[in-house]
Each structure stands twice: as structure tokens, then as C-alpha cells.
Amino acid sequence: MTVSSLVQLRSVRCCWSLPRWQMNCHNRTVALWTSVTVQQILTHKKLAELSRISMCRPPILWGTGWLGKAALSTTSTGPKEVMLTSERYGVQRLPFSRVSDSDLAFFERLIPSRVITDPDELKPFNVDWLQSVRGCSKMLLKPQTSAEVSEILRYCNKRNLAVNPQGGNTGLVGGSVPVFDEIILSTALMNQMISFDRVSGILVCQAGCILENLNQYLAELDFIMPLDLGAKGSCHIGGNVATNAGGLRLLRYGSLRGTVLGLEVVLADGSILNCLASLRKDNTGYDLKQLFIGSEGTLGVITAVSILCPPKPKSVNLAFLGCQSFSQVLGTFTTCKGMLGEILSAYEFMDDKCMKLVESHLKLSKPVTGCPFYVLIETSGSNSAHDEEKLNSFLEHAMTCGLVTDGTVATEDKKIKMLWSLRERITEALTHDGCVYKYDISLPVERLYDLVIDTRARLGKTAKNVVGYGHLGKLGTIPGFLL
């Protein structure tokens, strides 16, 4: 699912224009707004996620997503009351204990002044970013160390109290908020940098560090995070790892399974598993960290991360191109990989319906018009002259071959950010149009956009819009399918 809202940005027509050309796409997000109820759209997978609870241990659910955390009630019609998840989906609470006064006293002694019980303060933590699901937790805990997390989980395990770990609460599938009255375990105060090795580029930090803060910290040292998301302003690195987030840089730097070198995790019984290695090569024994990357908190709470960070590129170029068909998007992607090779760092696609919603709701102006599909191509390298030469050669070829019909290129940071906002803020624009549903689906590349076309045909007038967009670099994946 996806919901969001944002402020205006100016036109990016300050970027110089190139001749026209067309292109194709690979990986993308399909989105649609519908007037039908959530129950009508609910899938078995969603029910399984919402009811995921252990018989002996606290349920550990942790979700993050691509979106920055805007106000929880920023729709055009004003604040709304979200129906309780348990009522909407008919999920039954398992026989966990309920929080008592003695439990509250224990937590107050353990982490004084970091126990939240005020209903008004708890509201934003009980509702997901999309305002689609809501729990009724009556207690939020804010530990600062793995030792405190260990004590909390050990006590909850002994008392049979359910726990819901929560990072930045930017997830789009409801996994970051309680289903019932689970205790919310927030990592917001676990935001310390532990170490950084300038020679190897290995960063060790606590799980509650915000992704954008990490990137800013590294930028001063001429490094970057291998992960970049639209939610970077509020998502936590621990939640990114727990959900195995892909993001905009996956094409260049790979997935978190390859860049995460080690983890510190607290298991549900309070045991601390220290796999916080800071070596790129470690052939000893089982690679236990892989069990927790993408586990969504079902096996333990990630409290610290060791991650390999690449050097900051000295030259970055961004091209925004227009294509007349999806086959041309695919053709452009193939040509792009062949001609740009080692400097290609991102390849994103959006259909025209996405761009119209961004323009109408967020007042952003795209530099290219009149195309059914648009593509963002980013290159990053160490030699600007070399990179520009390769990019210009690719653009000339794509234009001559008819893959691309129009386009613009940006090399300055400000203009690059403005172009990226057209892609990153799509999800936010969608929420202004109604209720948004979104799913990740893997399909053969050549069949990717067929899903959008078929969904439009199946839903007809039931949905206001069905759109496709996302990371074409993730072969065979649709990052986000909105129903």
C-alpha cells in the first residue's frame, strides 16, 4: 500500500534539453486508487502478516518503506480515524498477557522517562504511514542500548507480553504498527554512530540511525550509503535491513545481503547475538546475519549494523527521457547497460499517469511532455569528462535508433535533486487521489507492464487510476503494485 502528501516544487526546465528519443522499462511500481473497501482487496498474504504471532514469544514485526514520514493525516479532507486492524480484518488476539501496573513499574525503573503511556503521544505509533491499519498499544518503550532491549525482551518473554518493534514507521504494508495492544519497542533513540573505517569504508552504527543522517555523515568523509530510498528522511537502517530494502542504488551497489557485513540482534528471549563483523571476508562457520536480513523482525530485533559503504562519486549525471512504448523502455535499458556499463548507477521508469498525478497534486513540472513513459538514468563515476562523453554517446545512439523521443540532462546537484523528486515523490502524489494499494511482484521483464494493463482492464471504473513506476534495475521486480 502507499499513501502520502507533500509540498510544491518548481519546474525543472532549467536543465538543458536534448533531442527526442524513446525508451523501455524493466522494474516498476504499479499503483491504483480505488473506492472499494480494504476488505475487498485484502489478500491472504496480508492476513498472514497481520496475524503473525508466536505462541511462546512476543510477535516481532518490523516494517519500513520508501516514503518519508509526513504528517499522519495530510489528506485533502483532513484528519481521519483509521479503523482498528482487528476489527477491519477480524483477526483474533492470541492468549498473550496484558500490561499490568507492575509491568509499567518495571519498565519505568529500567528506562526512566522513556516509557510512553499517554494516548495522544501513542497515536502516531499505532497507525501506519498509509493510515490503512491501526493498533491499540497502550505503551511505547524507547531503549538506547542493546542491553536495554535485551532486558525488555527477556522480561516480556517471561511475562508472555507481545512486543512490536518499530523503526521509522514508514512501511507500506502495516508491519510496523501493532495489531492489538502489543508493547511498541521503538529504536528511535538507538541512533549512535559506533565507528567508521576510512580505509575500508565500513560503517558500524545502531539500528535507529536515520538513513539520510548516515548519508550526510558519510558525505563529509567522501563516502555514501549503498542504499537510497524515498523515505530516507525518516526510515531507520535497522528497519531497512529487516525488510531487505532495495532502493534506488541497487543497480550499482547490489542488495543489502551483499553490503551488510554484520549484525547485532536481540532474540525474543533476550539473548544477544553478536555477529557484528567488520571484515568484508569471513569464511568461518554459518553466515547467521543472512537469517535476519529480510526477516521483517520475526526472528529478532536488529540493534546494530555493520555495512560496507562505497566512495562518493565525483561525477554524477542524470537524464530524464521520454519513450513512446514499454518495448522502447526495455530496449533503452538494454542499450543503456551495454553502452554505459560501469558508470550506470540507476535506471527508473514511470508511466505518464504517474507524472500527471505528480504535476496536479504536487505542482511539480516535468521537463519532457507528451510521452506515455519516462525514464531516469543516473551515471556516477570518477571522471566527469569520461562520463559525459559516454552518456552523450548513448543519448545520440538512443535518439538515432528511435528508442527515445525527448529528454533533458542535469549535472548540477540542485537540478539533479529536482529531477529525482519527480520519481521519489510519486508515492506521495498518489495519496492525494484516494486510497492507495501497492505490492511488490516479480515477473519476467518483457511481461512487466502487462500487469498494469491487465489490472486496468480488470478493475475498470472501480479504480480511479492504475499506474506503473519503479526500479528497472531490479530485474523482474515491480516495486509496488497499488490496488
**pLDDT tens digit sequence for 194-215:** 999 999 999 999 999 999 999 9
- Report d(CA 258, CA 111) in Å as an integer: 35
Question: Which of these, 255, 84, 90, lies nearest to 177 by C-alpha position?
Answer: 84
Question: Which of these, 316, 310, 318, 319, lies nearest to 380 by C-alpha position?
Answer: 316
Q: In a 10 Å sphere around its CB, with 0-12 CB exposed, 13-18 middle and 19+ buried, how is residue 327 labelled?
A: middle
Query: Positive or negative, the Cα torsion across 478, 307, 144, 218?
Result: negative
Distances from the Cα of 221 to the Cα of 193, 196, 234, 250, 309, angstroms: 14, 10, 22, 22, 11
In terms of phi and psi (left: phi > 0; alpha: psi -120 to 50; beta: otherwise), the region of 175 is alpha
pLDDT score recorded for residue 248: 84
The DSSP bridge pattern shows strands 406-410 and 315-323 to be antiparallel
**What ranges do the domains of the chain cover?**
16-33+313-479, 42-186, 193-308
- Report d(CA 185, CA 191) in Å as an integer: 14
Chain-centroid distance of CA 66 in Å reads: 3
Contact call for residues 259 and 224 (beta carbons, < 8 A): no
- Report d(CA 132, CA 427) in Å as an integer: 15
- Report d(CA 220, CA 79) in Å as an integer: 40
Helices 384-400 and 326-340 meet at what angle, rounded to 10? Answer: 140
SS (H, E, C) 407-475: EEEECCHHHHHHHHHHHHCHHHHHHCCCCEECCEEECCHHHCCHHHHHHHHHHHHHEEEEEEEEECCCC
- Report d(CA 148, CA 79) in Å as an integer: 35
pLDDT score recorded for residue 242: 95
Contact call for residues 470 and 480 (beta carbons, < 8 A): yes
pLDDT score recorded for residue 1: 21
**pLDDT tens digit sequence for 339-365:** 998 999 999 999 999 999 999 999 998
Distances from the Cα of 272 to the Cα of 32, 149, 151, 297, 429, angstroms: 42, 9, 10, 14, 42
Distances from the Cα of 194 to the Cα of 191, 239, 272, 472, angstroms: 9, 18, 17, 34
pLDDT score recorded for residue 3: 21
All residue ranges of the chain with pLDDT < 70 are: 1-80, 439-440, 442, 473-483
Chain-centroid distance of CA 450 in Å reads: 24
Domain 16-33+313-479 has CATH 3.30.70.2190: yes
- Report d(CA 173, CA 14) in Å as an integer: 37
Q: What's 193-308's CATH class?
A: alpha beta
What is the pTM for the complete model shown? 0.78
DSSP state of 375: E
The count of C-alpha atoms lying within 13 angstroms of the C-alpha of 100, restricted to the half-sphere facing its C-beta, is 9
Q: Are 16-33+313-479 and 193-308 the same fold in CATH?
A: no
Contact call for residues 64 and 245 (beta carbons, < 8 A): yes
CATH number of 42-186: 3.30.43.10
Tally: H helices and E strands in the chain: 17, 19
Contact call for residues 229 and 245 (beta carbons, < 8 A): yes
